[in-house]
Amino acid sequence: MKKRIILSIATILFGCSSYQEITEQDVKDTILGMFDSFSVESDNINNFKNFVTDDYILYEVGKAMTATEFIEFAGSFGTIEDDWIITDMKISIDKNSAHAYYKNKGRFVTLNNGKKELHNYEWLESAYLVRVDGKLKIKFYFSDTINQSVETIK
């Protein structure tokens, strides 16, 4: 009986020592890493899949998209410049998952048929992240446009 108690305590302690807590910085780094992965400055847009789960779903523009569908969608705009500003991030964390919601302002310059346009967007966004093989990844992402403008630039 004494051996079982000692073994149980050792198992609990060993399990706790290998447990890595999710931090707010982990959540922020994962979300910002995802954005960097599909920026026009990225060397490899398929790096996006390193930040999302295999069963990732994005809900945006009125439809659900897988990671592959999103990569195709993001590449269809002729974007030559992009940047995002994320503000008002609120994060909640439990043992194996996290949820974040925030405001996002995006600025995109596109070139299509020789015509340059400046697109400004404001979104309310939400991400649900889970631990997969010790790494934090985004499982579900929701994005709702709250304001947008487009202007031709020279």
* 149 falls within a domain: yes
* 5 falls within a domain: no
* 94 falls within a domain: yes
* 67 falls within a domain: yes
Structural domains counted in the chain: 1
Give the mean model confidence (pLDDT) for residues 34-41: 93
For residue 92, what are the domain limits?
A: 22-153
* 76 falls within a domain: yes
* 54 falls within a domain: yes
Q: The domain spanning residue 34 has which CATH number?
A: 3.10.450.50
pLDDT at 13 over 50: no
pLDDT at 1 over 90: no
Which residue is listed with tokens 């503000």?
87
* 1 falls within a domain: no
CA-closest candidate to residue 53, choices 96, 84, 20 = 96
* 8 falls within a domain: no
Residues 71-90: tens digit of each pLDDT: 999 888 899 999 999 999 99
User: Which distant-in-sequence residues (6+ apart) come within 8 Å of 56 by Cβ?
Assistant: 66, 67, 137, 138, 139, 140, 141
Give the DSSP per-residue string, 47-116.
Answer: GGGGSEEEEEEEEETTEEE-HHHHHHHHTTS-EEEEEEEEEEEEEEE-SSEEEEEEEEEEEEEEEETTEE
pLDDT at 54 over 50: yes
CA-closest candidate to residue 137, choices 37, 63, 39 = 37
